Amino acid sequence: MAGDIVDITLLSLYVSSTSTLVATAVAVPVGIALGLREIGSQRLLKNILFTLYGLPPVLAGLLVFLLVSRGGPLGPLGLLFTPLGMVIAQVVVVTPIILGITMSVVSTVESRLKETAFVLGADAHQLRVTVMREATAGILTAVMVGFGRAISEVGAVFIVGRHIEGQTQVLTTTIITDIEQAAYGHAIAVGIILLVIAGLVYSLLYRLQERTLQ
Amino acid sequence: MHFRAPRRFFAILAASALVLMAVGVVISNVGLHREYILMATTTSTRDTGLLSVLLPAFRDATGIEVRYIAVGTGQALDAGRRGDVDIVIVHAPMLEIQFLADGQGLCRNQVMFNRFVIVGPRDDPASVAQATSAIDAFRRIAENESLFESRADNSGTHTKELELWALAGLSASTFGSWYERTSQGMAATLTISNERDSYTLSDDGTWFALEGALPFLRLLYSTDEPVLQNVYSVIPVNPAVHSNVVFEKAVAFARWLIGLDAQRLIAEFTVNGHPIFTPAPVGGC
Amino acid sequence: MTMSVEVEALRKSFDRRNVLVDVDLHIPPGEILAVIGPNGAGKTTLLRIVDFLLRPDAGAVRYDGRDGPADPEARLALRRRISMVAQNPRLFRGSVFYSVSYGLCVRGVEPPELPIRTLQALEAVGLVDRLHARTSDLSAGEAQRVAFARAVVFRPDLLLLDEFAANLDPANARILEAAVLEYNRSTGTTVILVTHDMFQAKRLANRVALLYEGRIIESGSVIEFFDEPGDPRTRAFVRGELAY
């Protein structure tokens, strides 16, 4: 029923770190490219993205569940009730967030910076890299917000993982099942562990961000 | 030089993401055939704590590991229908029969039963403790219009509750504001009853497990009437419909559950000193 | 190396406001041309069009006698022969070294040549000791000098200066002006200098043009322009009497 708390914590870290990393690898380059485009075409895109910010993790979980269940198109892969399935569900939740914030941060890098790089002879790719460098602090914020969402969400991992002992138990699903069984004390303890873990990761990322702001 | 760093950074990022995904593939056992059985059961089954006794015993006896998901009755059977699990243990006889009739289940072993009980406020305003039958108890609650919590979640307990109202000649849809719908599991519903001094129908396992934390509630009505019996059965999923299920091990588990060793464990199992399950093996597998 | 620039019948307007009207300029290779005029006359717009930041509504700019190429690669190659220093330059985040060496890196210059030329450029503006300073720690004067070093380190054939010493105290301004003159003398680079400071124009330029309300009113050698201006508006401007 309640597995080893160390295993649970490690799995939480694994699932959320992996999903954040994958989402970052996809969302940051796309966000930079989109953020550099002209304002006009951005409005529709921003509308879609803002709607996806509000994509409830439970809905993402349901969609991935239907995808990877035996009856679904990816059924034969056997991803339901597995950590990898949970990672995929969280990637769906986190990618729009990182993408949107990156796009926002990049598009607000002042035109002066872009013009300066242009005037010094930068081609399109070099310009992108320069903008990205200037927007690094903001992009790190996007990653932190994304990770925060991943580590604290329960809807997606619960629906796709189902809190199976020895397999898919994470901190947030442990809190839910503790409450289901009225084990409130244990739930609070697990919650504190989750806050501590999140705090440690954030402090690491803050330190990184500080360095890039010089 | 100025432009190489990001390339390096993205290369590292992509590489780490791939490595971690690969780790995920390994720990998720993707594609490879499962060694263990995956079972779907209900939250109330999990909450009795019986599985923590039975599953390790089964593994010790046969070397077969059973892992399970605990969901609502409907979802447990649906998991069987989708082939997401190899075997189900539920306590909803009507739905089980339908499941088998649809060809989704291979066979069915009845394993045990416990009881539904009525709990309520210590002062028992509707005099449920003096009821002559379960149906009478429900009639008293309705006549007195005492606060009542319904799980309202299509669970086995909820289904039994509706059945009792019907047998008393009443319809839940006509009830006034004294009838409250929690839409939650048994533990949560009992907690709400405790807060609101209301009656509710519970299974005895969950009641005895949580009794200590529910000081404002009292066990008011508990008999061995057939209508209050909560029968548990185990059904392996039909491999003819879902070829991926680990059905030989599943059938082995179904048979072990009605064997002497399992039935003895079931009879000896107690929650806070109360025995709850009555062995009732009927084999079809 | 160097470049000639020809501006022909250039027109540009923003929101129905005419910023440049029929502007003609001929700038032979190696010349320092000062474009002076009141603020808002269109001087910055002119430079931005020359450096491909803006497109004119009509007219053309020719470089070495040829129109700006249509082919993107040729266009990029031409763009890389031109450089600009703005009035309040935007340095890049990080070290002075990063900012100054930026243009070299863009053009594929690698170590050891890259740091050597970077140091040389900083030497010319007297800031070698600030090589590893953070750009955010620089004073306004130092920042402007770094921006200048950044703009010339890759030896552009055409240098555009937009009020490049406007916010500097006289000492810093002098350093930069000396660097401009030295740069033009040693490499023969063509320079277009936009300024509202007539004395700076006198000190640096070979020729001067007055841009007033979007038009070139008068242009001529420094001596002609300041001592014997033809147009009454030129005379008024030189006397400090020409406003909007």
pLDDT in tens, B216-227: 999 999 998 999
| Token pair in block for residue B163 | 């059945």
Question: What secondary structure does DSSP assign to chain C, as a single string?
Answer: ----EEEEEEEEEETTEEEEEEEEEEE-TT-EEEEE-STTSSHHHHHHHHTTSS--SEEEEEETTEEPPSSHHHHHHHHTTEEEE-SS--PPSSBHHHHHHHHHHHTT--TTHHHHHHHHHHHHTT-GGGTTSBGGG--HHHHHHHHHHHHHTT--SEEEEESTTTTS-HHHHHHHHHHHHHHHHHH--EEEEEES-HHHHHHH-SEEEEEETTEEEEEEEHHHHHHS-SSHHHHHHHTT----
**CATH code at position A83:** 1.10.3720.10
pLDDT at residue number B217? 95
Check the CA dihedral B269-B273-B276-B279 and report its sign: positive
Residue A40's pLDDT band, with cuts at 50, 70 and 90, is low
pLDDT in tens, C155-199: 999 999 999 888 788 888 888 999 999 999 999 999 999 988 888
CA distance B98 to C146: 82
Residues 6+ apart with CB under 8 A from C177: C165, C200, C203, C204
Both structure tokens of C137: 């720690």
> What value does the mean pLDDT take over residues B11-17?
92
Q: How far apart are the CA of C52 and the nearest CA of chain A, in angstroms?
A: 8
Neighbour count for residue C36 (Cβ, 10 Å): 24
Q: Which chains touch A (3 or more CB pairs under 8 A)?
A: B, C
pLDDT of residue B8: 84
Q: Biggest alpha carbon distance in chain A?
A: 65
Q: Taking 90 as the threshold, does the pLDDT of residue C16 lie above it?
A: no
Q: What is the DSSP string of B15-63?
A: HHHHHHHHHHHHHTT-SSPPSSEEEEEEHHHHHHTTHHHHHHHHHHHHS
Is there a contact between C107 and C87 (Cβ–Cβ < 8 Å)?
A: no
Alpha carbons B20 and A15: distance in angstroms, whole number: 9
Q: Are strands C215-221 and C207-212 parallel, antiparallel or unpaired?
A: antiparallel
Mutate: best of A70, A88, A131, A179, partner B, most B CBs <10 A: A70
A112 touches chain C (CB under 8 A): yes
Using only the alpha carbons of chain C, give its radius of gyration: 18
Most distant pair of Cα atoms in chain B: their distance: 89
- Contact status of A116 with chain C (Cβ, < 8 Å): yes
% residues pLDDT > 70 (chain C): 98
Least Cα separation, residue B3 to chain C (angstroms): 8
**Chain B residue with minimum CA distance to A84:** B24
Task: Classify residue A148 by burial, with Cβ atoms within 10 Å: 0-12, 13-18, 19+.
Answer: middle
Q: What domain range is A45 assigned to? A: 5-212
Whether residue B247 is predicted with pLDDT greater than 60 in this model: the reply is: yes
Of A120, A134, A212, the CB nearest to C103: A120
> d(Cα C180, Cα C199) in Å, to the nearest integer?
15
Contact B2 C102 (CB under 8 A): yes
Report the residue of chain C nearest A120, measured CA to CA.
C103
Residues in chain A whose beta carbon is closer than 8 A to a beta carbon of chain B?
1, 14, 17-18, 21-22, 24-25, 29, 69-71, 75, 77-85, 87, 125-126, 129-130, 132-133, 162-167, 177, 179-182
Chain A CB contacts of C150 under 8 Å are: 120
pLDDT band at A2 (very low <50, low <70, confident <90, very high): low
Check if the beta carbon of residue B193 is closer than 8 Å to that of residue B149: yes
Q: How far is CA A170 from the centre of its chain?
A: 16
Task: Give how many domains chain A has, as a whole number.
Answer: 1
Give the chains touching C; criterion: ≥3 Cβ pairs < 8 Å: A, B
Of C182, C185, C220, give the one whose Cα is nearest residue C202: C220
Q: Write the pLDDT tens digit of every residue in A99-146.
A: 999 988 888 877 889 999 999 999 988 988 898 888 888 999 999 999
Q: For all residues of chain C together, what is the average pLDDT?
A: 90
Q: Considering only CB atoms, which residues of chain C are within 8 Å of chain A?
A: 51-53, 76, 79-80, 82-84, 86, 89-90, 92-94, 102-103, 106-107, 134, 136, 150-151, 154
Distance from C-alpha of C61 to C-alpha of C27, rounded to nearest angstrom: 11
B109 strand-pairing partners: B234
Q: Average pLDDT in the B138-149 region?
A: 95
The answer to whether A188 faces chain C, any CB pair under 8 Å, is: no
Neighbours of chain B (3+ CB pairs under 8 A): A, C
pLDDT the model gives residue B181? 94
Which chain A residues are Cβ-neighbours of B244 within 8 angstroms?
Answer: 70, 78
- Contact by Cβ (8 Å): B221, B148: no
Question: Taking CB atoms and an 8 Å cutoff, what residues of chain B touch A167?
Answer: 67
For residue B5, is pLDDT > 70? yes
Among C144, C115, C145, C147, CA closest to C132: C115
pTM exceeds 0.90 for this model? no
The pLDDT, as a whole number, for residue A1 is 44
Q: Do B46 and A1 touch (CB under 8 A)?
A: yes
Domain annotation covers residue C140? no
Interface residue B282 vs chain A (CB under 8 A): no
Q: Percent of chain A having pLDDT more than 70?
A: 96
Among the listed residues C34, C31, C84, the one whose alpha carbon sits nearest the alpha carbon of residue C54: C84
Task: State whether A118 and C134 contact (CB < 8 Å).
Answer: no
Q: What is the pLDDT of residues B45-62, one digit of tens each?
A: 888 889 999 999 999 999
- Of chain B, the percentage scoring pLDDT greater than 70 comes to 99
How close C105 comes to chain A (CA, Å)?
Answer: 9
Mean pLDDT of A168-191: 91
pLDDT 10s digits, C111-164: 999 999 999 999 999 899 999 999 999 998 899 999 999 999 999 999 999 998
Beta carbons of A110 and C90 less than 8 Å apart: yes
Query: Who's near A192: CB < 8 A, 6+ residues apart?
Result: none
CA distance to partner chain C, nearest, from residue A78 (Å)? 48
Distance from the B10 Cα atom to the nearest Cα atom in chain C, whole angstroms:
20
Subunit contact C93:A133, Cβ cutoff 8 A: yes
Those residues whose C-beta lies under 8 Å from the C-beta of residue C108, and which sit 6 or more positions away, are: none
Residue with tokens 């039963």: B113
The per-residue pLDDT for range B60-114, each reduced to its tens digit, is: 999 999 999 998 888 899 999 999 999 999 998 888 999 999 999 999 999 999 9
Sketch out chain B's domains with CATH numbers: 37-112+231-282 (3.40.190.10), 114-228 (3.40.190.10)
Peptide bond preceding B281 in cis form (omega within 30 of 0) = no
Of A80, A166, A180, the CB nearest to B188: A180
d(CA B12, CA B20): 12
Per-residue pLDDT band at A212 (split at 50, 70, 90): confident
Q: Which two tokens stand for residue C13?
A: 């307007």
User: Is the pLDDT reported for residue C207 higher than 90?
Assistant: yes
Q: How confident is the model at residue A37 (pLDDT cuts 50, 70, 90)?
A: confident
pLDDT at A57: 93
Which pLDDT score, from 0 to 100, does residue C101 have?
Answer: 95
CA distance A2 to A169: 8
Give yes or no for residue B272 having a pLDDT over 90.
no
C98 in reach of chain B (CB within 8 A): yes
Q: What is the DSSP letter of B105?
A: B
The B residues from 173 to 212 touching A (CB cutoff 8 Å) are 185, 187-188, 190-191, 210
Residues B25-45, mean pLDDT to the nearest whole number:
85
Contact A133 C92 (CB under 8 A): yes
C225: Cβ contacts below 8 Å, ≥ 6 apart: C207, C208, C210, C218, C219, C234, C238
Q: Which residue has better confidence, A122 or A53?
A: A122
pLDDT at position C41 is 66
Q: How many domains does chain C have?
A: 1
Residue C83 to residue A119, Cβ atoms within 8 A: yes
* pLDDT score recorded for residue C225: 85
Name every residue whose Cβ is closer than 8 Å to that of residue C186 and which is 6 or more positions away in sequence.
none
Which of A91, A180, A186 to probe the B interface (max B CBs under 10 A)? A180
The DSSP output letter for A170 is -
User: Which of B181, B201, B179 has the alpha carbon at shortest distance from B190?
Assistant: B201
Shortest distance between the Cα of C55 and any Cα of chain B, in A, equals: 28
Q: What is the model's pLDDT at position C5?
A: 95
| pLDDT score recorded for residue A39 | 65
Angle at A214 between CA A210 and CA B6, to 5 degrees: 85
Report the CATH number that the domain containing residue C43 is assigned in CATH: 3.40.50.300
Domain ranges, residue C21: 5-90+157-238
